[in-house]
Amino acid sequence: MMLKQLTQRLRDRTVVTAAILSLMGCDAYASEATLGGSHAGDRKADTPIKHVIIIMGENRTFDHVFATYVPRYGEQVDNLLSKGIINIDGTPGPNYAKAAQFAAEDTNFYSNHPGNKMPYNTTTNKLQTPGTSYAPQTCYGAVDTAALNGPGCMATLDLAKQAESDDNGIHFSLRTQDLPLLTEGATGIAGNSPDTRIQNAANLPNGPYPLVTAQGASLYDTYGGSPVHRFYQMWQQLDCDAVKVSRQNASGCQADLFPWVEETVSSGSNGKPFPSPAPSPLLKEGNIAMGFYNVAKGDAPYFVKLAREYTLLDNYHQPVMGGTFANQMMFGYADALWYSDANGNPATPNHVLVPGSNPPAYVDEVENPNPAPETNNWYTNDGYGGGSYTNCSDSMQPGVATIVSYLGALHVSPNCAPDHYYLLNNYVPAYIGSGQTDPINNGPFTLPPVIKQKHIGDVLNGAQVSWAYFGERWNDFKTAPGEGTNFGALDPVAYLYCNICNPFLYSASIMTHADQRDAHLKDTNDLYDAIASGNLPAVSWVKPSTFNDGHPASSKFSLFEAFSRKIIEQVQSNEELWESTAILVTTDEGGGYYDSGYVQPLDYFGDGTRIPMIVVSKYSRGGRVSHEYTDHASIVKFIERNWDLPKISDRSRDNLPNPKTSNENPYVPLNRPALGDLFASFDFDRHGGHDHDHD
C-alpha cells in the first residue's frame, strides 16, 4: 500500500511517532509479576462485581446503530423511531423535519453555531452523494504488506485465518464460525468515490436515511465510508447555541450541520490553502453522516440480542468532541491531556521542527479553525499537517471564544487550566511497545511523555487492585522497532494494534518501568487464557485490532459484534467468573455519524454525541433501558465506587456529581453538569447482591 493511502486509512488514528524528551525519575508502584499486578485489594469490591471488562469498538453513534430498536414492553428508548423522525421500515416519519440538515456560512471567525443557515434540498443547495472513503474495493488475495496495512477483507477463509492469528492459529479473536466475516463486504467501488450502492445516493432526503441498496438489501455487513470526526468540526456539527436553550432543549444543541461540515472542511485543511479549482464533489465524505442501520430488519443482530437480555443505555455519550485519541484518554484519565516539557510541566508546542527537512521546516501545532480568507469554513490550520493543540484558557486563541461564551451562558466552566495546551486530535504516544522512546523518527505529531497527570491505573495500583489493558496484536507491537514517519521500518502487523487507543501507553508511570508494562499491558490472547483459567484482573480494558474494531472503512460493525461475542460467551461459560463479572460494551466515539439525543456540555471538551453502551451481567438482566446520563468517565466512576477508590485528581470528571432528574425528563440532569456512575444499570438486590449507600 502506498504511504498516501495508508495515511488516509489512519487519518483519525495517526501512526507517526516520536518527539522524545528526556524523562525525570518516576516512582514505580509495587506490583507482582501476575496478570494485572497485585491482587491484594481485589476483594474490596462493594458489590458482587469482582471483575469488570470494558470492550471498546470504534466510531458509531446510538442512532446510527439503534435507530429502529423497539425495547421490551414497559421500557422506553430515545431514538429516531420513538421520536417519529423515521418509520420502522426506515422511511421518513411524521416528524422527519426535526432532523433536517442545513448549510451555513462561516467566513470570518470560527463559530460553533454559524449563521445564514439554509435547509438542504433546495434548487441551489443539494446534498452531496456519500463517499466510500478508504473502504476496500476488493478483498485482498494475499496476506502481504498491503493487506495487513489495509482493511481486513481477505479473499479466502485460509487467508483470513492467516491474517487474523498472530500465534499460528492457537488463538483467534473471532469464533471459528465468524471468521468468514473477514472474507466479504468489499464495496466494488474505487476508494474516495461516490457510494452508488446506497439507495437514492444521488438524491438523498434531507435527514437520516437507511443504509440499504436500491433493491432494499442491507449494507450492514459491508465496508463503507468514514465520516469526519475531529474536535472543532463536531462542535459545529452539533450547532450548540445558548439562544436556542429551552425547556425542551436544555443545551441548545441542534445537531443540524453534519453534512455541511463534511462538505466544507472535512477532516482538516492540514495547514494547506483551499484547493483551486475547487474539487467536485467538494470533499470525499459527502452526506455520509446521516446514514443508519435498521435493527428492526435484522441489522446488528447480536447487539440487539444483548439489549433484549441485559441493559441498554440510551443516554451514554462520547466524552470529547472529535476522534479516537481524546475519547480513549477519558477511559484512563477522565480528563484531557496536555503538552508538557521534559519535567512534565505545561509548555507551548508551537513550531516543532520537522525531522530531516532541508531547509529546516517547522509546524505550528496550535489549532486555528478560523476560516481562511475568501473561503467558507476552510480552517486555517487544522489536521495532521497543521494544528491539534488549543490553549482554551485564553479566549484570544483561535476558536476558543465562541465555545467559552456558549459555556458561560449555560454556567458551565470550561475547566481549562491556565497556559495549558490541550491535545484535541490524534497524536501518537512518545513510547513504543518496548517502553523506549523513538530516537529516530522525531516527527511533530507525538504527545510528549505524560508525567504529572495521573490515570485510573495509578489509582488502582495504589489500592492494590489488579488491572490490565488487553490490546489485540500487542505481542506484535511491543517488539516492533518503532512507529515513526518511516512506515517501511515497521513490521506491518504492528499497525493492527491501536497505539492511540491505549491511555497507559502515553504514561511515564507505566512505560518507564518494565514491571508495570509486563503486569498491565497484555495481548487479547492473554485475555482468552485468563478467562479460561478464571484468573482475570479486577479491571480489564479490551481493544480489538484494526481488523475487528468496527471502524468504518477499515472494518465492519459486524466484526466488532463478533469480537465482543467471543469474549462474552467465554465469560458466560465459566460459571464462577460469570457470577462476578460485568462486561461493558461500547465504542470510543460516534465517528461523525448523526445522533438525535440530548448532549450535555460538561466543559470545553465535550460531551459529544451518544454512542452505544450495553451492560452485560447477571445483575443487569431483563432488557432494561437505562436513561442515566453517562460517558466514558462514568466507567472510571464505577471502578472508583465499586472498589472504594479516591478520585484521580481534583479536576478530573470523576468529581462530577451523579445526575438528579425529574420524572418529566430522565435524560437531562437538573444538577448539571453531572455524570452518572453506571450503578443505575444494575439491580444487585433483586439478584441477591448487596450495595453500599454512596453519595
CA 664 from chain centre, in angstroms, equals 31
495: left (phi over 0), alpha (psi -120 to 50) or beta: alpha
Contact 198, 212 (CB under 8 A): yes
Separation CA 16–CA 608 (nearest Å): 26
pLDDT of 28: 33
Q: How far apart are the first and last CA of the chain?
A: 54
Low-confidence ranges of the chain (pLDDT < 70): 1-34, 37-38, 149, 279-284, 350, 355, 384-386, 438-443, 481-492, 686-695
Separation CA 583–CA 565 (nearest Å): 11
CA 184 from chain centre, in angstroms, equals 25
Q: What is the DSSP letter of 206?
A: S
SS3 category, 520: helix
Separation CA 13–CA 7 (nearest Å): 9
Adjacent-strand bridge partners of 469? 521, 541
Domains of the chain: 3-130+225-681 (3.40.720.10)
Q: Which secondary structure element, helix H or strand E, spans residue 6, and what is its range?
A: helix 3-9
Q: Which phi and psi (to 5°) does residue 316 adopt? A: -105, 135
Output the CA–CA distances (angstroms, integers) from residue 231 to 6, 382, 424, 592, in the order listed. 22, 10, 6, 10
Output the CA–CA distances (angstroms, integers) from residue 685 to 311, 617, 620, 690, in the order listed. 16, 14, 11, 6
622: left (phi over 0), alpha (psi -120 to 50) or beta: left
Contact 97, 596 (CB under 8 A): no
Separation CA 208–CA 428 (nearest Å): 34
Separation CA 233–CA 12 (nearest Å): 13
* 316-331 pLDDT tens trace: 999 999 999 999 999 9
pTM over 0.85: yes
For residues 554-580, b (16+ Cβ closer than 10 Å) or e, as one string? bbbbbbbbbbbbbbbebbeeeeebbeb
Q: Taking Cα atoms as reference points, which of 544, 13, 43 lies closest to residue 226? A: 13
pLDDT of 602: 98
Mean pLDDT score of the chain, rounded to an integer? 88
Contact 234, 608 (CB under 8 A): yes
Q: Extract the runs of DSSP E, i.e. beta strands, from 306-405.
A: 311-313, 316-317, 352-354, 361-363, 368-371, 379-381, 389-390
Q: Extract the runs of DSSP E, i.e. beta strands, from 573-673.
A: 581-587, 613-617, 624-626, 630-631
pLDDT of 579: 95
The residues near 115 (Cβ < 8 Å, ≥ 6 apart) are 104, 105
Q: Which three cell numbers stand for residue 64?
A: 446510527
Tell me which amino acid residue 54 is.
I
pLDDT of 690: 40
pLDDT of 10: 39
